[in-house]
Amino acid sequence: MVRLDSKPLIPVLYLIPQLQSGGTEKHLCQICKYIDKSIYRPIVVVCNSKKDADSPFESRMGDEHVQIHHILLTWKWAFNIFRILFLIEKEKVEIIHSFLYGDHYLDAVVFRCSRARVYITVRRNLQHWRKKPWLTLGEKFRNRLTTLVIANSAEARLKAIDMEHIDNDRIIVIPNGIEDVDQSIDEKQSGLFKERIGYMPGDFVIASIANLKPVKRQEDVLRSLNLLRGHHPIIKFVMIGRNDEGYEHKLRELVRQYRLEAQVFFLGFTTHVGELLSFASVSIISSEAEGFPNAILESFLYGVPVIATEVGGNKEVVRHGNNGYLYKVGDIQELANIISKTAADPESLKEMGMRCRRDAAEKYSIRSMIQNYEQVYDRLLENEHHIVERI
């Protein structure tokens, strides 16, 4: 967008459920950090949780001088709609960009009652959370008002078109990007991780960077390790992520059942992802549903090949035998075979790692992602009479 210095900044209001941990939260943090602040002024409203002093993403956005408001937006607190409307009016918000999902459709009510000109929603997964195949009335209302839908992978886009009957020209793909400036390693923290897992040179380390919940299927990795009992070199499985839905308890039970205590480690949620990836052999995405996992790009940045399930955006990033391997969801024997094959061929793994770094630098740069967002915002604002066809 060509801009005169005298023009005021364009406020963009981002709505998100929480800022504790997860790919969506990190994605929004990246947008707020790198978007051109000589043109746009990001404002964040956290809708489903109160302020968390330990939130790394909230702290980072605060460092970028981004306005953050905690305004609960649920039916119980529906009167808070007026608080958000007051904020929109006060800040003269032009764009509402919502990261809310499912039955969290009060964002549509906010847009309908505001003077904002553009309303963007997102599709960042394969909608595995749906308990019923049809849309609620709230979702239909939301989709009618949406100016544009942004998906983070072609698979997520196709799923939305198929399930929600969204017009092709109203949903686009902007892939996730990876920051190329955060590769410095805290050697002390990396050393603490190594000490915690009893790392020895020659160990084959599998890293899982995902919250612990059923859809992520970390149990499949445990079942595969059970099939590889006695394998050499020693295989160690290290998980970074928050315990969701009590799933960690099930995983720990499997560890005890298979007697894998010396091979499996739970590090909890941490922002020190690079410190683990700096000595990981491979990274694994074992999910049954994915949009476009940031963990793949983080692994690529550190030259770590990825073993991933053959679903969603995984298939668009991981090229089998080139920068990683793909396997069918739940096929623990196929997964065990891939782990055994990669552990036995460190030279091929090293070459894969070099291709991973090139992919991170050339195909998935954070600058390219941000430019795509800025172009979308520019285009929609220039078209004041954009007509949204009803679904």
| Per-residue model confidence as pLDDT tens digits over 164-190 | 999 999 999 999 998 865 557 888 999
pLDDT of residue 181: 52
Residue 391 has pLDDT above 50, yes or no: no
Residues 339 and 318 both lie in one domain: yes
Residues 355 and 372 both lie in one domain: no
Residues 321 and 242 both lie in one domain: yes
How many domains is the chain partitioned into structurally? 2
Query: In angstroms, rounded to a whole number, what is the distance separating the alpha carbons of residues 166 and 268?
Result: 38
**Would residue 202 count as lying in a domain?**
yes
Closest alpha carbon to 50 in 80, 82, 93, 85:
80
**Would residue 52 count as lying in a domain?**
yes
pLDDT tens digit sequence for 308-348: 999 988 999 999 999 999 999 999 999 999 999 999 999 99
Please give the single-letter amino acid code of residue 281. Answer: S
The CATH number of whichever domain residue 370 belongs to comes to 3.40.50.2000
Give the pLDDT band (50/70/90) at residue 6: low
Residues 90 and 199 both lie in one domain: no
Residues 316 and 334 both lie in one domain: yes
pTM value > 0.75: yes
Strands across the sheet containing 306-309? 264-266, 235-240, 204-209, 282-285, 306-309, 324-327
**Would residue 373 count as lying in a domain?**
yes
Please give the single-letter amino acid code of residue 239. Answer: M
Mean pLDDT of the chain: 90
Residues 201 and 107 both lie in one domain: no
Strands across the sheet containing 10-16? 67-70, 40-46, 10-16, 95-98, 118-123, 148-151, 171-173
Query: In angstroms, rounded to a whole number, what is the distance separating the alpha carbons of residues 67 and 88?
Result: 12
Residue numbers of the domain that contains 342: 187-362
Residue 388 has pLDDT above 70, yes or no: no
Residue 387 has pLDDT above 70, yes or no: no
pLDDT of residue 360: 87
Strand partners, 238: 207, 265
Mean pLDDT computed over 197-214: 94
Give the pLDDT band (50/70/90) at residue 363: confident
Residues 343 and 372 both lie in one domain: no
Strand partners, 118: 95
Residues 229 and 336 both lie in one domain: yes
**Would residue 1 count as lying in a domain?**
no
What distance lies between CA 268 and its chain's CA centroid?
Answer: 17
331 phi, psi to nearest 5 deg: -85, 85
pLDDT of residue 237: 98
Residue 389 has pLDDT above 50, yes or no: no
Residues 247 and 343 both lie in one domain: yes
Give the CA distances from residue 233 to residues 4, 87, 224, 275, 343, in Å, rounded to whole numbers and listed in that order: 62, 58, 15, 22, 7
Are 150 and 186 in contact, with CB atoms under 8 Å apart? no
Closest alpha carbon to 339 in 380, 302, 296, 307:
307
**Would residue 389 count as lying in a domain?**
no
**Would residue 298 count as lying in a domain?**
yes
Query: In angstroms, rounded to a whole number, what is the distance separating the alpha carbons of residues 272 and 251?
Result: 22
Cβ neighbours of residue 383 closer than 8 Å, sequence gap 6 or more: none
Closest alpha carbon to 16 in 89, 121, 112, 90:
121
pLDDT tens digit sequence for 55-110: 778 888 877 889 999 999 988 888 999 999 999 999 999 999 999 886 678 999 99
**Would residue 182 count as lying in a domain?**
no
pLDDT of residue 250: 96
**Would residue 350 count as lying in a domain?**
yes
Give the pLDDT band (50/70/90) at residue 385: very low
3-class DSSP state of 354: helix
pLDDT tens digit sequence for 223-273: 999 999 888 888 999 999 989 888 999 999 999 999 999 999 999 988 889
Residue 126 has pLDDT above 90, yes or no: no
Residues 74 and 220 both lie in one domain: no
Residues 42 and 121 both lie in one domain: yes
Are 85 and 10 in contact, with CB atoms under 8 Å apart? no
Q: How is residue 263 annotated by DSSP?
A: T
Residues 159 and 209 both lie in one domain: no
pLDDT of residue 136: 85
11 phi, psi to nearest 5 deg: -75, 135
376 phi, psi to nearest 5 deg: -65, -45
- Name the one residue in this structure whose structure tokens are 């476009």: 292
Q: Which residue has the higher pLDDT, 23 or 115?
A: 115
What distance lies between CA 33 and its chain's CA centroid?
Answer: 16
Give the CA distances from residue 72 to residues 24, 44, 46, 370, 377, in Å, rounded to whole numbers and listed in that order: 18, 13, 7, 28, 26
* Nearest-10 crossing angle of helices 106-113, 80-91: 50
